[in-house]
Structure 1
Amino acid sequence: MFRHRLAVIPAAALLTLAVAACGGTTKDSSAGDSAGAQTGASADPNAKLKEGLKIAFLPKQLNNPYTDVEVGGGKVATEELKDEYKLVGPNDASASSQVSYINTLIQQQQDVIVVAANDPNAVCPSLNQARAAKIKVVTFDSDANKTCRDAFINQATTEGIGQSLAKMALEQAGGSGEIAVLSATPNATNQNSWIEVMKTELAKPEYAKLKLVKVAYGNDDDQKSFQEAQGLLQSYPNLKVIVAPTTVGIAAAARYVGSSSYKGKVQVTGLGLPNQMRQYVKDGTVKKFALWNPADIGYLAAYAGAALSSGQITGAEGDKFTAGKLGEYTVGKDGEIVLGPPTEFTAENIDKFNF
């Protein structure tokens, strides 16, 4: 269950949408929950957090607006913790692009690696080498296979996000018609999990008049996503809604639709940053979309990494720790730590948010 509501900006009201949350849940699972479960280590909730820890962030790719906000929250947390912050990563989101960075971080003897996996399995051999070297591994936003990390910071539950995406699609389509999904990469753990939940929802009677005609992939690249949005509308002239569960994709789709003859005829929804989407909401291209505060994901990940490295938690279910301004969290099944519920943004509330 959620223990918190999510503050989006220092002066903002707390987020209220009860969308249970998110992300790239793992597909495997015969092996144990976490390092604590595997090694037999026990948590000491009274252990003092160490200072001077070397905490490295490895997002899916650099120079991505969403990623920039996420890792920015991690930097804030490491400064509060008096630890050393490091940011590395690829410029593309391909499946194996993160492996060389993990190997370098092992050589640099980092204490914690915080990674958003581009592929749940491609990173595993290197992550397990890191753990063998006593480096704690925290995944955030997009999970790796649970056998190769200690904890996973999930934005929200996979079911909640997938259900929310389906619900927004139904609303924007007016209850019937063709819809398409514009996702990130074909291997993105979180995107694929949300889409599978969407498909399950669409099989329910209340969605009987909606038809999912295509899942396209923009590879979290702005121009590729723009082209894919254009291609969807050329291939499916009766399309009513493009659902983009990626901040890059939703902005690119909105930019295309908003500058085309499809504006007002085709709706765009999904997951986006308020600052990135504001113009499209105000000009009527987008009526509703959703997101959590990405900065808090990075912030929570840094505190979880510090708690793991300090022995406060092991990643076992039931472990508790305090994450600075976000308060107390409890580790769930398979080492999952859920941030909290996202919010829906509309023309009525978008100016209350600044991220």
Structure 2
Amino acid sequence: MHLHSTARGSIVPAAAAVCALAVALTGCSGTTKESAKDSTAQNTAGAKADPDAPIKKGLKIAFLPKQINNPYFTILDDSGIAAAKELGATAKEVGSSDAKASSQVSYINTLVQQRQDAILIAANDPNAVCGPLKTARQQKIKIVTYDSDTAKECRDLFINQASSEQIGRAQIQNIAKQLGNKGEIAVLSATQNATNQNTWIEFMKDELKKPEYKDMKLVKVAYGDDDDQKSFQETQGLLKAYPNLKGIISPTTVGIAAAARYISDSSYKGKVVLNGLGTPNQMRAYVKNGTVEQFALWDPKKLGRLGAHAAAALASGRITGAEGEKFTAGDLGEYTIGKDGEVILGPPAVFDKDNIDDFDF
């Protein structure tokens, strides 16, 4: 699948997307690193990048998502595991069915005991997982965050879907077009401490300060904890608490699907606009029955593959995580590490009734 070529349009104009990819706008890094312009770029452990180093065979790589059995992370991690195996590594997904940082801590500790070569984690809290991740790094285990970052001193790389600013501002831009730049809106987020969600929401709030949105108002940010039933109930609560609500943004795949399920069987269908981030397969029925006009997402399969290649490159010494270093991620091509160890997959795509059947994930 090629989101950028098949979809009718990306969230932002192509020129802006290129610009966003050229400049790392956000993200954090694990350690202070010397400039990659110096061919002897080192991390704080004294390691030097060797771009010509072969990918080690038999690497042990683990994916620790926000929660297992989440359709988005299942797609992402399965793709990453397949890519890791193609590289000669053994890979697995571990995790809890809840989206709690405390649950992730226990799994990190176990993975350290198992002497994994690399751990990829989508953090439920930027700081709560740092202690065990630092312990893992002290034992030469490479830490790659994906989808949701940790505090910068806790990992080597952050694989970001797109620039956080790009995602956040686009959420407002998209729903504003549907609403004619007027009306009350709410956000249905994941957990209160999810770093990616909170960063996007801050950019949403900043976008709303622009003059063209003077007739729009964000009345509430609700949290469904990436739990289907709670997200469903939060949607119901928002619509009852704010009778003049015109739109809901849910930048989480669990949340947008739950909200769509509620709205599709209610009197709000066709009256309240729902937008956000979801997968085509989970949203297809709601697009076709008129509950949702459009939504957006990057390709989680590509995000998983990029994460696996980055982890293998780190564990093999091809890169250290320094800004400016480059690595090849198989058929995805070459990527350059940006400021603070951030690697950006690329701009998302917008899905609607005209293109949703072109995608299967």
TM-score tier (shorter): over 0.9
The one-letter amino acid of 1:288's match is Q
Q: Counterpart in 1 of 2:131?
A: 125
Instruction: Please give the secondary structure, in 1, of the residue aligned with 2:335.
Output: strand
Residues 181 and 33 of structure 1, relative CA distance in 2, 3 Å threshold:
farther
Q: How does 1:111-260 map to 2 (within 5 A)?
A: 111-260=117-266
Instruction: Please give the secondary structure, in 1, of the residue aligned with 2:101.
Output: coil
| 1:14 Cα offset (Å) | 6.9
- Could you give the per-residue CA deviations for residues 144-198 of structure 1, whole angstroms, max 9, x where no partner exists? 1110100010000000000110111212222200000000000000000000000
Residues 127 and 165 of structure 1, relative CA distance in 2, 3 Å threshold:
same
- Could you give the per-residue CA deviations for residues 244-292 of structure 1, whole angstroms, max 9, x where no partner exists? 0000000111111110001110011000000100111111110111000
User: Which residues of structure 1 form unaligned runs of 5+?
Assistant: 1-5
Q: Counterpart in 2 of 1:3?
A: none
Q: Counterpart in 2 of 1:7?
A: 2
How many Å separate the matches in 1 of 2:156 and 2:85?
22
Q: Given that residues 7 and 350 in structure 2 are in contact (C-alpha distance below 8 angstroms), is that contact kept between their aligned partners in structure 1?
A: no
Q: Counterpart in 2 of 1:84?
A: 90
- Could you give the per-residue CA deviations for residues 284-319 of structure 1, whole angstroms, max 9, x where no partner exists? 110111000011111111100000011100000011
How many Å separate the matches in 2 of 1:62 and 1:117?
13
Select which of 58, 61, 72 maps to 1:55: 61
Q: Given that residues 177 and 209 in structure 1 are in contact (C-alpha distance below 8 angstroms), is that contact kept between their aligned partners in structure 2?
A: yes
Q: Counterpart in 1 of 2:37?
A: none
Q: Given that residues 117 and 139 in structure 1 are in contact (C-alpha distance below 8 angstroms), is that contact kept between their aligned partners in structure 2?
A: yes
Instruction: Please give the secondary structure, in 2, of the residue aligned with 1:76.
Output: helix
Q: How does 1:255-334 map to 2 (within 5 A)?
A: 255-334=261-340
| 1:126 Cα offset (Å) | 0.4
How many Å separate the matches in 1 of 2:250 and 2:30?
32
Q: Given that residues 55 and 84 in structure 1 are in contact (C-alpha distance below 8 angstroms), is that contact kept between their aligned partners in structure 2?
A: yes
How many Å separate the matches in 2 of 1:328 and 1:159?
23
Q: Counterpart in 2 of 1:32?
A: 32
TM-score, reference length from structure 1: 0.93
Q: Given that residues 296 and 350 in structure 2 are in contact (C-alpha distance below 8 angstroms), is that contact kept between their aligned partners in structure 1?
A: yes
The one-letter amino acid of 1:210's match is M
How many Å separate the matches in 1 of 2:76 and 2:3?
12
Select which of 103, 107, 115 maps to 1:97: 103
Q: Which runs of 4+ in 1 moved over 6 A?
A: 21-24
| 1:17 Cα offset (Å) | 1.1
Q: Given that residues 30 and 156 in structure 2 are in contact (C-alpha distance below 8 angstroms), is that contact kept between their aligned partners in structure 1?
A: no
Instruction: Please give the secondary structure, in 1, of the residue aligned with 2:246.
Output: strand
Instruction: Please give the secondary structure, in 2, of the residue aligned with 1:272.
Output: coil
How many Å separate the matches in 1 of 2:33 and 2:226?
30
How many Å separate the matches in 1 of 2:2 and 2:55?
24
Instruction: Please give the secondary structure, in 2, of the residue aligned with 1:96.
Output: helix
| 1:219 Cα offset (Å) | 0.2
Q: Given that residues 142 and 155 in structure 2 are in contact (C-alpha distance below 8 angstroms), is that contact kept between their aligned partners in structure 1?
A: yes
User: Which residues of structure 2 form unaligned runs of 5+?
Assistant: 35-40
How many Å separate the matches in 2 of 1:43 and 1:7?
31
Q: Given that residues 186 and 249 in structure 2 are in contact (C-alpha distance below 8 angstroms), is that contact kept between their aligned partners in structure 1?
A: yes
Residues 16 and 171 of structure 1, relative CA distance in 2, 3 Å threshold:
closer
The one-letter amino acid of 1:13's match is T
Instruction: Please give the secondary structure, in 2, of the residue aligned with 1:72.
Output: helix
TM-score, reference length from structure 2: 0.92
Residues 238 and 315 of structure 1, relative CA distance in 2, 3 Å threshold:
same
The one-letter amino acid of 1:151's match is L
Aligned length: 347
| 1:32 Cα offset (Å) | 1.9
Residues 154 and 229 of structure 1, relative CA distance in 2, 3 Å threshold:
same
The one-letter amino acid of 1:17's match is S
The one-letter amino acid of 2:176's match is L
| 1:341 Cα offset (Å) | 1.0
